[in-house]
Amino acid sequence: MKFRYAMVCSSNQNRSMEAHSLLKRHGFDVSSYGTGSHVKLPGPSLREPNVYDFGTPYKQMFDDLRRKDPELYKRNGILPMLKRNSGVKLAPQRWQDNAADGSFTVVLTFEEKVFDMVLEGKDVSFVLQFLFPWIFR
């Protein structure tokens, strides 16, 4: 049986993409997603994040932030992160919109609220019944 892996964080930028990149380099069948309503990246202040729609190419985000303030976004690691991401896949994808990607054997989430959203949005009852049968008695 071949395993399929999904890495899920809020914006499909940092944690899920680092895991995606690592597993992909080692030959795993892996995809990655975010659960937020938009992709949010740090901006010049906490009150001014950079907000993009899911599906916006990483290269487009990179070019936009490089145009806005290349030194800031290089210094805070956003430009290198976006460059890495664009080498892994075209654009961030939203978990809730991934039905066409099929099912996954293993889904890793990187924070509790993301875990809750993954459980809410998918029919995972079979997996849960398999892993935790005493819950369903």
> Torsion-angle region of residue 123: left (phi > 0), alpha (psi -120 to 50) or beta?
beta
User: Which pLDDT score, from 0 to 100, does residue 132 have?
Assistant: 47
Look up the CATH number of domain 4-136. 3.40.50
Q: What is the pTM of this model?
A: 0.85
| Tens of pLDDT, residues 11-54 | 999 999 999 999 999 999 999 999 999 999 999 999 999 999 99
**Nearest-CA neighbor of 54 among 73, 34, 68?**
34
When pLDDT is averaged across residues 76-85 and rounded to a whole number, the result is: 98
CB atoms within 10 A of CB 4: 15
User: Which pLDDT score, from 0 to 100, does residue 124 have?
Assistant: 53
| Tens of pLDDT, residues 103-130 | 888 889 988 888 888 888 655 544 444 4
When pLDDT is averaged across residues 82-100 and rounded to a whole number, the result is: 94
**Across the chain, what does the average pLDDT equal?**
89
